[in-house]
Copies of this chain bind each other. A is one copy, B any other.
Amino acid sequence: MDAVHAYIDQHMERFREELDAFLRIPSVSARREHDDDTRRAAEWLADRMRDAGLTVTLHETPGHPIVVGSHHGAGDAPTLLVYGHYDVQPPEPLELWTSPPFEPEERDGRIYARGSVDDKGQLYLHVKAIEAHLRAAGSLPLNVIVLAEGEEEVGSANLMPFVDEHAERLGADFIVISDSTMYRPGMPSIGASLRGIAYFQVDVRGPAGDLHSGSYGGAVVNPANALARIIASMHDDQGRVAIAGFYDDVDTPEAYRKQIGSLPFDDEEFRAEVGAPALGGEAGRTTLERIWIRPTLDVNGLLSGYTGEGSKTVLPSKAMAKVSCRLVPSQDPDRIRELFQAHVERVAPPGVTVDVSFLHGGRPWLATLEGPLVDAASRALERAFGTAPVFAGEGGSIPIVDEFERVLGARVLLMGFGLPGENAHAPDEWISVENFEKGTHAAAALLAELGR
């Protein structure tokens, strides 16, 4: 194993250059104008996986392609499936980036680029760990499959149909995903829970066209005012979601809640990091509870009427909100969809029509924090970082975690190398150079530990 780790250190500069090339491809899955770029990212990744020594196929889907690489040279040894995604979030607003989102730049020990941490950097370090074993040791200590999709940021609509269809070929004993953050710098972490998601678009329509707010205002229901009332109705004064039945299925093990309470956490440090004047949220909950094990309802976007410079006295004909709920075990996105739609129907005022579209959903997940996978990961992380990992929740969603476990019948390990403040989904996204390097070592060590 020393030769494997030495290989990683010797070739790290090249690994970094390759990652930069990956990051330069604007594979924004949500935008049709980037469809060619997204395909190019898939093809680039497939080529690099072949270079690493894997047998690779690129599978067409109704959306973006799925890349599968595998190496089954370890006979009866177990099989590890590595999952990641090569698509990225839209980079807007562009003016808030310090350096352009698709021109990676290293500053202060960080690689800044859209997708650096979510998820190109964290996916690519596994490819490099596999390469290190095959080049330095000439073989892999277990069988591996790398599964990379290009639609994670838009709901992974085509992934599970693909996994269902190819369940035999994708058969694995363990699954590892690096698409999450460590609890703190220098504190390697194993993911203990994920939130699910239910993402909606609410479209309110009133008059057939925009109207003069003087000639018509007061007698025509304003879709933007109506939208504001609908959204405001979704929280009570205690910061709780006020949709009837919303909390019915929330069920967090008390032991896990206590474990969360034992982690060091400084509210003022967190507040300063996000730069808000104060923290807020559901009354009676700690910050870690609020972001890990309590569900939310957040507006992600608002648009209506005139939004340019100066003033325009228009009564807009329509108003739009994107609204998403983060879900916790055991909430179900389909059930939340029903409750959300019923709520909107109940509060929508006369004088406008309101349509709710369900853009995508994903189930929440709770890890099982015992067994050979977690034990191997603990040793691998301790080898790479010099300290044992902690178990941490994750506020974000990786909907396919729950689905992988159900379809492939293998436990999932969340071993993330992002860090708090990494700006995933925001301007100035970054990954720590140190974590990219130690993450590559940890990924290589995990292969060795699981292959023992």
Contact = CB atoms under 8 A, between A and B. Distances in A.
Interface of A: 30-32, 89-90, 92-93, 96, 154-155, 181, 195, 197, 199, 201, 206-222, 224-225, 227-229, 231-235, 270, 274-282, 287, 290-291, 294-316, 319-322, 324, 326, 349-353, 359-360, 394-397, 420, 423-428
Nearest to A396: B214
Given A220-B274, A277-B352, A199 B300 contact: no
Contacts of A312: 30, 89-90, 300-301, 322, 425
A299 to B, nearest CB: 4
Interface hub of A199, A235, A276, A350 (most chain B Cβ within 10 A): A276
Contact of A291 (B217, B282, B427): B217
14 contacts: A30-B308, A31-B310, A206-B277, A211-B274, A212-B424, A213-B300, A215-B394, A215-B396, A216-B395, A218-B296, A219-B291, A225-B231, A228-B321, A313-B396
A208 B274 contact: yes
Contacts of A282: 218
Contacts of A221: 276, 278-281
B92 A306 contact: yes
Contacts of A93: 210
A210 B426 contact: yes
Nearest to A302: B304
A218 B211 CA distance: 37
Given A280-B349, A308-B31, A326 B217 contact: yes
A326 to B, nearest CB: 5
A426 B311 contact: no
Nearest to A353: B277
Contact of A424 (B215, B297, B359): B215
Contacts of A324: 213, 311, 313
A212 B154 contact: no
B311 A212 contact: no
A424 to B, nearest CB: 5
